[in-house]
A and B are shown apart, each in its own frame.
Chain A
Amino acid sequence: GAVVSQHPSWVICKSGTSVKIECRSLDFQATTMFWYRQFPKQSLMLMATSNEGSKATYEQGVEKDKFLINHASLTLSTLTVTSAHPEDSSFYICSAVAVRDTEAFFGQGTRLTVV
Chain B
Amino acid sequence: SQQGEEDPQALSIQEGENATMNCSYKTSINNLQWYRQNSGRGLVHLILIRSNEREKHSGRLRVTLDTSKKSSSLLITASRAADTASYFCATDRTSGSRLTFGEGTQLTVNP
Which residues on A are within 8 Å of B, measured CB to CB? 1, 6, 31-32, 34, 36, 42-46, 49, 91, 93, 95, 97-98, 100-109, 111
Contacts and interface: CB of A to CB of B under 8 A. Distances in A.
B42 A102 contact: no
Contacts, number: 59
B100 A93 contact: no
A91 B38 CA distance: 13
Interface in B92-111: 95-96, 98-104
A46 B100 CA distance: 8
Contact of B96 (A43, A97, A106): A97
A43 B88 contact: yes
Given A43-B103, A44-B88, A45-B2, A1 B98 contact: no
Interface of A is mostly: strand
Contact of A102 (B43, B88, B96): B96
B60 interface: no
Contacts of B4: 43
A32 B102 contact: no
B100 A102 contact: no
Contacts of B43: 44, 93, 95, 106
B104 A43 contact: yes
Given A43-B102, A44-B88, A103-B33, A91 B40 contact: yes
Given A91-B40, A107-B42, A109-B41, A102 B48 contact: yes
B96 to A, nearest CB: 4
A7 B103 CA distance: 26
Contact of A32 (B42, B44, B96, B101): B96
B42 A103 contact: no
A90 to B, nearest CB: 12
